Chains A and B, each alone.
Chain A
């Protein structure tokens, strides 16, 4: 579904990605793990068009999207839930969800997507008229994912969904991520610092270290890898 080939990205003279390649099959949950500053967020931002690649190629459903602006990439069904959630804090939950369907004009489809978001996150229905900035961290994460789902994505990229969220809610959110993948067939690329959790829900994993992929394989196998265990899984 998504193929990244030899992607190089730099901030000024500092290179953040040094030629990474990976591909994600349709229907899978794939995770990208790695420490702080490894280049995980940069990878997602380059795929979704917020950052420009220096060289390399991003292909989505067979189309080269490397040079497309962000709003045209979303239109193709690739949705990015950014790090820190980035909900529209002064807008209500309702307006945030409507913004998620910004590119859709079919009212029936928008209503259907809204019902789907409510079925995944019933709490959003209760908070509909509340300003997004007043939600808890976990609820904002639900809203950010819900907003992305409103646009009918085929492919969802989630950047650190566990960050800054009450531990009790983290498992709920990860259950929902699996549910979205299984019930709706949405392919997911999950970026996480919480490697244990990420490897548990995903089928495949890539390990990123200072801008390069240093390890790749089935999540099950990587969980048993002694080197990975020592570095990312806390012994």
Chain B
């Protein structure tokens, strides 16, 4: 039982990180109907910003950790908005496939620029938050896990409030449902799209920091695997659906951790993806996704 709870906790904290990254994929898909493949590298840049900021503040302090976290989120929000403005916007009215290929290009550009700027060798991520281990019964909970789950939950609640309770959030949903109609009521779609990239990239940065806290070795290619998993999580939850992305991330992280802790650990990715394929066979639009039927 305690092993089960322990694994569940590990799984949820990994899943929370996938969820944070998946939200960015799904939001951008929602407003632009394309997959921003460079998103996983924004996650990596977030971890590196955290690495350098972490050297400037004393290790193991709460304020220092929060400063690093918010710095990385702001930095990546700007990076995401910059990529959208400079690379994707000029291609907006062309075929989606062109933007998709370009996104792969941006992804590679970030990865290999990262290797030049940061070096290809892995680095150890500093302990930015205070650490402790808590023992609850036979369960060991590390403070990092508490931070990961806590920060992820807070960010997801904040996102939910932004999307459902604010004017710009309603505009995001409106653009996602019908960009033309949104323009006709006076929404500047460029502003909304830019905001969406900023928001998604900030969440990816938070994911990057939390990931680096738990797996404290970072390198310029570190975004590839978590990015792929998060992309799959977004599809699993129903691409374009925000609660779906969160659910997909948590589910994928948990399943992967449980299989990783079993005798089939070598096949953990294969089994996790096989489960996904089965789910998608029965729910092709994802767990919370809907095929929209146009009503005339």
Contacts from A to B (Cβ < 8 Å): 48-50, 69-71, 74-75, 79-80, 82, 84, 86-91, 95, 98-100, 102-103, 133, 137, 140, 147-148, 151, 164
Contact = CB atoms under 8 A, between A and B. Distances in A.
B296 A90 contact: no
Nearest to B171: A102
Given A86-B178, A95-B170, A102 B296 contact: no
The 10 closest A-B pairs by CB, nearest first: A86-B181, A70-B183, A103-B186, A74-B186, A88-B177, A71-B188, A102-B186, A71-B186, A102-B185, A88-B174
Nearest to B191: A71
Nearest to A140: B295
Contacts of B263: none
B173 A90 contact: yes
A74 B180 CA distance: 12
Given A99-B171, A102-B171, A137-B296, A71 B183 contact: yes
A62 to B, nearest CB: 21
A70 B184 contact: yes
Interface of B: 167, 170-171, 173-174, 177-178, 180-189, 292, 295-296
B187 A71 contact: yes
B7 to A, nearest CB: 37
B185 A100 contact: yes
Contacts of A69: 183, 188
Given A89-B292, A137-B296, A164-B296, A99 B174 contact: yes
Tell me what chain B mostly uses at the interface: helix, strand, loop, or mixed: helix
Given A69-B188, A102-B167, A103-B186, A82 B177 contact: no
Contacts of B181: 82, 86-88
B184 A50 contact: yes
A69 B185 CA distance: 12
A16 to B, nearest CB: 17
A14 B140 CA distance: 70
B242 to A, nearest CB: 12
Q: Which of B167, B177, B182, B185 has the most CB of A within 10 A?
A: B185
B177 A91 contact: yes
A70 B181 CA distance: 10
A75 B186 CA distance: 6
Q: Which of B167, B177, B187 has the most CB of A within 10 A?
A: B177
A2 to B, nearest CB: 16
A99 B172 CA distance: 11
A123 B296 CA distance: 19
Contact of B186 (A88, A95, A140, A151): A151
Contacts of A103: 185-186
Nearest to A79: B184
Contacts of B183: 49-50, 69-71, 74
30 contacts: A48-B184, A49-B183, A50-B180, A50-B183, A70-B183, A71-B188, A74-B183, A74-B185, A79-B184, A84-B296, A86-B180, A86-B181, A86-B184, A88-B174, A88-B177, A91-B173, A91-B174, A91-B177, A95-B170, A95-B173, A98-B170, A99-B174, A100-B185, A102-B167, A102-B185, A102-B187, A103-B186, A148-B184, A148-B185, A164-B296
